[in-house]
Amino acid sequence: MTSVATPRVHELTDSFGRTVRDLRISVTDRCNFRCVYCMPEEGMKWVPRDEILTFEEIERVARLFVEHLGVNSIRLTGGEPTVRADLPTLVRMLADLRTPDGRPVDLALTTNGAKLTRMAPRLKDAGLQRINVSLDSLKPERFAAMTRRDELTSVLAGIQAAVEAGLDPVKVNVVAVRGWNEDEIVDFATFGRQAGVQPRFIEFMPLDADGGWTMDKVVPADEIVAAINAVYPLEEVAHGPEPASRWRYRDGTGEIGVIPSVTKPFCGDCDRVRITAEGSFQTCLFAQDDYDFRTPMREGATDAELADLAARAVGVKWAGHRIGKIDFVRPRRSMSQIGG
């Protein structure tokens, strides 16, 4: 990859021909839930506050990627993004960004939904377009066991608030874990059809801080589609580079997505990169390398220098993760520390 002299428009294409379009920004590593497949119950070490990127630093990175490096889609995540003070202010700053051809960036948020009843209208007003709310059980006791928080009622109210605020689509992320919630797959489909939201079933990945992931806890995407299809007939929808394979109900009542990260990795189509809350640039959830953006930014690096750093990282992006292979190495950071 050639060095970036001036950051005009210089798309980031890796050695496998994949071009970066989607930037995931973690706004905090902190979270008000402790989901079993993500964080430990206690003992998480938080990034010190002065090491977390400020809104201005996040906006600078986002602007560079949108205006000069070919990104047209941004998702805010965490940790739990809604625990970061004044999140709508950041949303407004990012909603103002325009791609070189003058289009607004496709701006989305992933949240556990517990604070959405109050925040959904403010986020929408600030320019957020769509939202993913994580929800792994519709049964109060199981929800409390999976998240280690008794907040099902507030999450359900948050989903309703997101729909009422006009965020569209509202997707519901369900991490399917064998022995925990695979018996609720059809219930989630029913819930989605009734609530006007799209369930997206995510295969459990080895990114849990407790290190409890095993292959036999993964519920394969094919099994999920088959279970739903048996009750609500489905047909596949052609889709772009996004990881979810999409299925719509033949009766026209909406759709579901499945993210087969483990059983059918979509790394060959990967168009995303990530910035962690402390400003580390990552080209893959499972990347082993850190490309620190924060230090150069705080030491006065120019946009061209930051673009060059991004180009170097993308230039050595690997073909894909090695989950289930003998040479798989878990990344140093767990999901909440990277930004899912």
List residues near ligand SAM by CB under 6 A.
Answer: 31, 37-38, 77-78, 80, 110-112, 134, 173, 175, 202, 204-205, 207-208, 335-336, 340
Instruction: State the minimum distance, in angstroms, from the CB of residue 329 to ligand SAM.
Output: 16
**258-281 b/e (C-beta count within 10 Å ≥ 16 → b):** bbbbbbebebeebbbbbbbbbbbb
Closest CB to ligand SAM: residue number: 340
In a 10 Å sphere around its CB, with 0-12 CB exposed, 13-18 middle and 19+ buried, how is residue 220 labelled?
middle
- Find the shortest distance in angstroms from Cβ 334 to ligand SAM: 8
How far, in Å, CA of 20 to CA of 23, rounded? 8
Tokens of 332: 């140093």
State in angstroms the smallest separation of the CB of 76 from ligand SAM: 9
- Closer of 22 and 208 to ligand SAM (Cβ): 208
Query: Quick one: 159 or 335, whose CB is closer to ligand SAM?
Result: 335
Q: Which two three-digit tokens encode residue 297? A: 């930014």
Shortest distance (Å) from residue 157 CB to ligand SAM: 16
Residue 81: asked if its preceding bond is cis (omega within 30°), the reply is: no
What CA–CA distance (Å, rounded) separates 76 from 175?
Answer: 19
Q: Minimum Å distance from CB 281 to ligand SAM? A: 18
- Burial label for 319, CB within 10 Å (0-12, 13-18, 19+), is middle
In terms of CB distance, is 38 or 162 closer to ligand SAM?
38
- How many Cα atoms are found within 13 Å in the side-chain-facing hemisphere of 20? 33
Min CB(209)–ligand SAM separation in Å = 9
C-beta of residue 172 within 8 angstroms of C-beta of residue 181: no
Nearer to ligand SAM, 175 or 225 (CB): 175
Q: How far is the CB of 279 from ligand SAM (least distance, A)?
A: 17
Residues 6+ apart with CB under 8 A from 242: none
Instruction: Pick between residue 11 and residue 86 the one whose CB is nearest to ligand SAM.
Output: 86
The 8-class DSSP code of residue 19 comes to B
Q: Which residues pair with 170 in a beta bridge?
A: 131
Nearest to ligand SAM of 23, 38 (CB atom):
38
Find the shortest distance in angstroms from Cβ 298 to ligand SAM.
25
Cβ closest to ligand SAM, residue 60 vs residue 330: 330
For ligand SAM, which is the closer residue by CB, 14 or 29? Answer: 29
The helix/strand count (H/E) of the chain reads as 10, 12
User: Degrees (nearest 5) of the Cα angle 37, 338, 22?
Assistant: 115
